[in-house]
């Protein structure tokens, strides 16, 4: 299931306190979308990495109660006491069976030892698939049956929307738009340590914004996304030298047109990013005017990207002209 559909679905299940399990390959953003759901709803979020825990970390430590002459369990401080939120059990199937057994009671009965999960909290878990070369343990059937299961897929359109909102370097967004297959290059049969994933492209963004010298850039990017992808990305990044001025176009001073596909991908991303940073109406008008003479598929891509980012343009006279010109592509 795509990330946008998962967010809508899991949000609804969280409201009904239905335990949910999210499966997927490493680095595709499973934990990020669960955290985003909590942020969007304005509720709490606690991320527990069960693979790093012992059974007593969840159940607590036993102590002797003098009044009742019984052993009680002191619940851990990191579990929520009140309010609303999402308790995220990450890497659940990477946890040893003894830890999964402790989690089983929390998921099944919403309590463990002396602790009871507050009514306002929902449980969402995640883990890598058994074939993803990660450390995993087969999940017991009774535990698996306590979840509604979803498998997250990598979708370029969803990633580009996220990347725009996150403010990733325009060269990264342009490159993935141009080379869709390089968003995710993980191969479970390969022993290569560095490979491209949505998470590692976020590292690339940070590397590009760092003080690393040009001489060290290729080796550093190779450590994030692999040598082949890093070489291809840096070759594409040189396209920026052949772009017309983004600001000139948005100011209404015009700009040259190109027929080179790599240039057009970089230009399209640059125009959308430039407008989103300063979204005055006159800049939108100038952008739409420029797209009227742009290659049709890129004119449509720009407008669709703007619409996905919440830009309304129905009020624009230029947009009405734009629709007449490109309506056959929108049908």
Q: How far is CA 272 from the centre of its chain?
A: 20
- How many domains are contained in the chain? 2
Q: Which of the residues in the chain have pLDDT under 50?
A: none
- Please list the helix, strand and coil fractions of the chain in percent, rounded to the nearest 5, in that order: 55, 10, 35
| Co-location of 144 and 161 in the same domain | no
| Co-location of 145 and 160 in the same domain | no
| Co-location of 99 and 172 in the same domain | no
Look up residue 323 and give its two tokens.
């629709």
Q: What is the pLDDT, as a whole number, of residue 146?
A: 87
Total count of residues recorded for the chain: 331
CA–CA distance, 280 with 188 (Å, rounded to integer):
47
Query: Do 292 and 260 contact (CB within 8 A), yes or no?
Result: no
| Co-location of 209 and 308 in the same domain | yes
CA–CA distance, 278 with 204 (Å, rounded to integer):
25
Closest-CA residue to 306 (of 321, 294, 291): 291
Q: Which of 104, 128, 151 is the last residue of a domain?
A: 151
CA–CA distance, 15 with 124 (Å, rounded to integer):
12
Q: What is the pLDDT, as a whole number, of residue 330?
A: 66
In the block, residue with structure tokens 């070369």: 133
CATH code: domain of residue 125: 3.40.50.300
Contacts by residues 12-18 (CB-CB < 8 Å, ≥ 24 positions apart): 13/122, 13/148, 14/41, 14/86, 14/122, 14/124, 15/122, 17/119, 17/121, 17/122, 17/123, 18/122, 18/148
* Domain membership of residue 186 as a residue range: 156-330
| Co-location of 254 and 163 in the same domain | yes
| Co-location of 234 and 147 in the same domain | no
Contacts by residues 135-138 (CB-CB < 8 Å, ≥ 24 positions apart): 135/51, 135/94, 136/93, 136/94, 137/93, 137/94, 137/95, 137/96, 137/97, 137/100, 138/93
User: What is the pTM (predicted TM-score) of this model?
Assistant: 0.81
| Co-location of 35 and 109 in the same domain | yes
Q: What is the pLDDT, as a whole number, of residue 197?
A: 94
| Co-location of 305 and 174 in the same domain | yes
Q: Which of 151, 174, 190 is the last residue of a domain?
A: 151
| Co-location of 146 and 162 in the same domain | no
| CB proximity list for 139: less than 8 A, separation 6 or greater | 92, 93, 100, 127
CA–CA distance, 277 with 259 (Å, rounded to integer):
26
Q: What is the pLDDT, as a whole number, of residue 135?
A: 62
Longest dimension (CA), the chain: 85
| Co-location of 144 and 164 in the same domain | no
Look up residue 170 and give its two tokens.
């325009």
Q: Which of 95, 128, 151 is the last residue of a domain?
A: 151
| Co-location of 261 and 248 in the same domain | yes
| Co-location of 165 and 267 in the same domain | yes
């Amino acid at each position: 299931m795509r990330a946008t559909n998962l967010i809508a679905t899991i949000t609804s299940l969280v409201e009904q306190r239905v335990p949910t399990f999210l499966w997927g390959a490493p680095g595709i953003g499973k934990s990020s979308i669960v955290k985003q759901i909590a942020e969007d709803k304005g509720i709490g979020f606690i991320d527990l990495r069960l693979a790093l825990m012992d059974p007593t970390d969840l159940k607590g430590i036993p102590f002797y109660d003098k009044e009742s002459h019984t052993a009680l369990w002191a619940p851990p401080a990191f579990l929520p006491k009140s309010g609303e939120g999402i308790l995220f059990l990450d890497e659940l199937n990477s946890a040893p069976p003894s830890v999964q057994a402790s989690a089983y009671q929390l998921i099944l009965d919403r309590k463990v030892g002396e602790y009871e999960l507050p009514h306002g909290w929902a449980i969402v878990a995640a883990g890598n698939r058994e074939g993803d070369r990660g450390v995993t343990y087969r999940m017991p059937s009774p535990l698996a049956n306590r979840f509604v299961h979803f498998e997250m897929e990598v979708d370029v359109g969803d990633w580009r929307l996220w990347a725009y909102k996150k403010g990733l370097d325009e060269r990264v967004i342009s490159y993935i738009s141009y080379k869709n297959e390089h968003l995710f290059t993980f191969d479970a049969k390969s022993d290569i340590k560095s490979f491209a994933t949505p998470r590692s492209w976020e590292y690339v963004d940070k590397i590009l914004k760092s003080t690393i010298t040009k001489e060290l850039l290729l080796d550093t990017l190779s450590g994030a996304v692999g040598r082949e992808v890093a070489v291809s990305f840096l070759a594409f990044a040189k396209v920026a030298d052949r772009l017309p001025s983004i600001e000139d176009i948005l100011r209404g001073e015009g700009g040259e047109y190109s027929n080179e596909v790599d240039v057009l991908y970089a230009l399209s991303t640059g125009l959308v990013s430039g407008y989103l940073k300063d979204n005055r109406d006159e800049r939108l008008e100038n952008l739409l005017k420029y797209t009227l003479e742009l290659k049709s598929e890129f004119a449509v891509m720009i407008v669709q990207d703007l619409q996905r980012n919440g830009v309304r343009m129905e009020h624009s006279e230029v947009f009405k002209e734009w629709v007449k010109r490109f309506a056959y592509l929108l049908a």
